[in-house]
Amino acid sequence: MAVRERNILVMNAGSSSQKCCLYRIEGDALLGDPPAPLWKGKIEWSAPDGARLTVLDRQETLPGGEPRGSGVSRLLETLWHGKAAVIGGPGEIAGVGHRVVHGGSEFQEPTRITPAVKEAIARLSPLAPAHNPAALEGIEAAEQLLGRYSPQVAVFDTAFHRTLPDAAAVYPGPHSWLKQGIRRYGFHGINHAWCTERAVTMLPDRDPSDLRLICCHLGNGCSLAAVRGGRCMDTTMGFTPLEGLMMGSRSGSIDPGVLLYLLEAPDGPTAAELGHILNTESGLKGLSGVSEDLRAVVAARDAGDARARLAWEVYIHRLRAQIGAMAASLGGLDVLVFTAGVGENSAAVRSETCAPLGFLGLFLNEQKNHAVSQSGPGKERDISRANSRVRVLVIP
């Protein structure tokens, strides 16, 4: 390997998956379009038939009850063991980058991982219980397999939203909450930042310094970011990833009076039980009674399931409403981006979401919209009509 060629492992611990890619980087910096990954693998923890490990095009089901950390180690070991091996051993990995969801107010830049940083990520875990612990599992697995010779760096989802104006970041509770760090942080920031950069590249005729963009990150977790001139001005997630849009198994925003009512009821849940309900038994899963996976909900809806249809309608209604709110915060809209698993792959979600947005000057080209999902993931597309003032983009 050339002296200035390095293998960089990237790990993304989501609420329902662990995704990893190995990139071979030449030179001191990554400029322009990213290279294709040398290797990629993932674990889908909530797959219907049990946790599913996929490396390149090969799949296997992980043993039931296996700790997640062990599953991550098994995934990483395929880098140098078996038919999918692409390197000779762990010593050939020059560094590891981890997506970490909650960095609080402490971390606003990519940060070298130390014991103190790990302690801080753990301390913030109650604010992102489905994410920060998963990131720590990945960090620990990488440490054990790669040793101290592969430095690890944490990149925080919250960092992109550090530009939120106080009017968008501060909750209308007692002012003392601010001293306790209770404010809106926002999440999915790494991807919102990426999509903002790619949108500017895709639209060279638009002035990036004043481009008004709404990014729709729609996966198992869902959030919107309202961006103007590259700066985040508003977002739907807040103090935790629970606020905002309806999601796979998370409720999104709910009248806090409902929560007080439940907690004060004689046979109501404890605070811990209510947290479990809101994070893992609500959203698409809770309303439909079918699954947190939108594909399964749509299949049930199409088969005549009334609860699945209700779940779909609430999901789309809340998404449309929040796009309207984000457009108002920007004073208009130039670009609407769809990204993440649902955003990239569901033509129906894009179509239903955009249908009433003609008043913004947004018109979808349905032929292009459906062609995106039929051609498979991985390609950036403009799916708006020629006469649409607002451009509609799909960005992986």
The answer to whether 157 is a known catalytic residue is: yes
Of the candidates 299, 289, 396, 290, the residue with the CA atom closest to the CA atom of residue 348: 299
* CA-CA-CA-CA torsion sign (97, 98, 101, 106): negative
CA angle 151/156/159 to nearest 5° reads 130
Q: How far apart are CA 203 and CA 212, in angstroms?
A: 12
Of the candidates 372, 380, 342, the residue with the CA atom closest to the CA atom of residue 34: 380
Q: What is the pLDDT of residue 1?
A: 44
Helix H or strand E encompassing 5: strand 5-13
Q: What is the pLDDT of residue 327?
A: 98
Q: What is the pLDDT of residue 291?
A: 94
Helix, strand and coil percent figures for the chain, each rounded to 5: 40, 20, 40
Q: For residue 207, what are its two tokens?
A: 């002035």
* Strands across the sheet containing 93-100: 58-61, 52-55, 39-44, 17-26, 5-13, 93-100, 152-156, 111-112
Enumerate residues 6+ apart whose C-beta is below 8 A from 96: 8, 9, 10, 11, 142, 146, 150, 151, 152, 153
Of the candidates 61, 38, 46, 97, the residue with the CA atom closest to the CA atom of residue 280: 46
Helix/strand/coil for 317: helix
* Strands across the sheet containing 381-382: 231-235, 222-228, 212-218, 335-339, 391-394, 381-382
Under-50 pLDDT residues of the chain: 1-3
Active-site option among 28, 49, 157, 302: 157
Q: How far apart are CA 391 and CA 396, in angstroms?
A: 16
Q: What is the pLDDT of residue 67?
A: 78
Mean pLDDT value across the chain: 91
Helix H or strand E encompassing 135: helix 132-146
